[in-house]
Amino acid sequence: MSAATRNGETAAEIAAAVRSGTRSAREVTDAYLGRIGAGEEAVHAFNLVTADAARARADEIDAMIADGHDPGPLAGVPIALKDNLCTRGVATTCSSRILAGWEPPYTATVVERVVAAGAVPLGKTNLDEFAMGSSTENSAFGPTRNPRDPSRVPGGSSGGSAAAVAAEFAPLALGSDTGGSIRQPAAFCGVVGVKPTYGTVSRYGLIAFASSLDQVGPFANTVTDAALLLDAIAGPDPLDSTSIRAEWNPVISAVDEGIEGLRVGVVTELLDGIDADVAARLSEAVDVLRAGGAKVGDASVPAAIHGLAAYYLIAPAEASSNLARYDGVRYGLRVDGVDVADMNAKTRGAGFGAEVKRRIMLGTYALSAGYYDAYYGQAQRVRTLVIRDFDAAYRDFDVLLTPTTPTTAFEFGDKTGDPLSMYLSDVCTIPTNLAGHPAISVPFGTGANGMPVGVQVLAPALGERAMFRAARALELGAP
């Protein structure tokens, strides 16, 4: 059964109905707010639900339509926003005590773009604190639960956004992906999750974790809806110095082009340590692609096996620099001390959780005098090898195929006592972040425990159109 069938109406259908006048944006918004009211206590997908603002926005869209104006491709579609995307005058916390109650003076570009496309923001979703985690157990405001099985995690760090879509609280959501934080929770919750090419979506207003890795992307119930949302948020932004200056080539027109002749490579290095039921779904995905006319073979990205080690030096190093701004002076939490240094230490000690502190310390150590070349410098050299190996693979293949995660969603507490075990949840997703390439996770059946399995399609930089073609074929052939 496809995600679209399981979860009812699609974003594309909602937008078409609102634009034609057969449904009002207010009616749609009220329906989704009702679902949140009925189910949020059990799931905790949101840190904040902005019901009054959502209804006001829906009324604006209905007024535009009544006046004969087109609100945009996402007309009246409710959307959930990860709580690390700045929204002017709306609390944006990164699920951290150090930012509790902070209201940004500006709005992230991606939020402005979804609003301009006609979407209706419903609120801010829960996440692992400062996007550091793979289970949404690290939130200062409590964990999010997987709507498919509340005893299991939704993945992370964008667990709230994935859970919001899976629970039918919103047909669309935005998350951020630094090492798999969109794709891994998408796989665990049985929804579609996309990490675009680095630089195709503005990071202006995304509260930074690791600036050379972070990227904003969509969650949706269908590949088509994900394409619709990606087209709405992608494109150059003068406010982001890392934004790609070329105009975005829309992907929505490529979704249904088919995969006849598409060259697909299965990355052999990312098959070790994969649970048998996940490996079985991947094998079935290969069969679906072959049946659709794709040419499938084995691909090799040798340096991918070192991706996890390189990532957990590069990302914490950048985090230790980015999080230095939370000092009790400029904004956020302040715990008084006898002097500035004492105040700073007490503020950070009280404001940051255990995982954030762990990564700050790891990153600071990796950047320290005497260790920089041995750790951070070496990790960057490995990153270069990963990029080169991907480039070599893409000379033979148009897209690559891997599992999204080694396992299905695990139970709460299973990995919290063993950080390395938790980090291994992202072993299949991290290489793509190091390379800056796009990737998409598509629901593809279930594991032995009945929980969703995700299959991941990778593509070279700006190769989203081929990636979406393969993803759509997998969606149509999913068990």
Distance of CA 284 to the CA centre of its chain: 25
Catalytic residues: 82, 157, 181
DSSP SS3 for 273: coil
| Assigned token pair, 425 | 């949840």
The answer to whether residues 135 and 158 touch, using CB atoms and an 8 Å cutoff, is no
240 exposure class (CB count in 10 Å sphere: 0-12, 13-18, 19+): middle
CA distance 143 to 125: 11
The answer to whether residues 19 and 70 touch, using CB atoms and an 8 Å cutoff, is yes
Distance of CA 23 to the CA centre of its chain: 30
- Furthest C-alpha separation in the chain: 70
Q: Residues 156, 158, 164, CA angle at the centre, nearest 5°?
A: 115
CA distance 220 to 4: 9
Q: For 55-170, where are the E strands, in sequence order?
A: 78-82, 120-125
CA distance 5 to 1: 6
Query: Rounded to the nearest 5°, which phi and psi values hold at 473?
Result: -65, -40
